Structure 1
Amino acid sequence: MKILSNEQLVAAYRDAEKNDQDRDWVKLLKNEIKKRGLNPQ
């Protein structure tokens, strides 16, 4: 995965959730968000 800023990471997570993309990709993004201590809401 390419390095993303916090804002880009949250935006990518929201897009993946909204567009019902691959569950593994959504899970990977969510894990990275948790690691960085962000809130995707």
Structure 2
Amino acid sequence: MKILSNEQLVAAYRNAEKQGNDQDWIMLLKKEIRNRGLRPFRKS
């Protein structure tokens, strides 16, 4: 995975989640977001 800024990472996660077609990519992005200590997740 190429290096992304925090904003790009969150945008990529939200875009992937909205499309919902590649669960492996979504999980990878989610793991990286958690490693960086960000909290962009929507509570369902």
Q: Name the TM-score class by shorter chain.
A: over 0.9
RMSD (Å), alpha carbons: 0.8
Amino acid at match of 1:24: D
Listed as ranges, the gaps of 5+ residues in structure 2 are: none
TM-score normalised by structure 2 residue count: 0.88
Deviation at residue 40 of structure 1 after TM alignment: 1.4
In our comparison, the structure showing a higher alpha carbon Rg is 2
Question: Secondary structure of 2:17's match?
Answer: helix
Listed as ranges, the gaps of 5+ residues in structure 1 are: none
TM-score normalised by structure 1 residue count: 0.93
Q: Greater relative contact order (Cα 8 A, min sep 6): structure 1 or 2?
A: 1
Report sequence identity in percent.
71
Deviation at residue 21 of structure 1 after TM alignment: 2.4
- Regions of 4+ moved over 3 Å: none
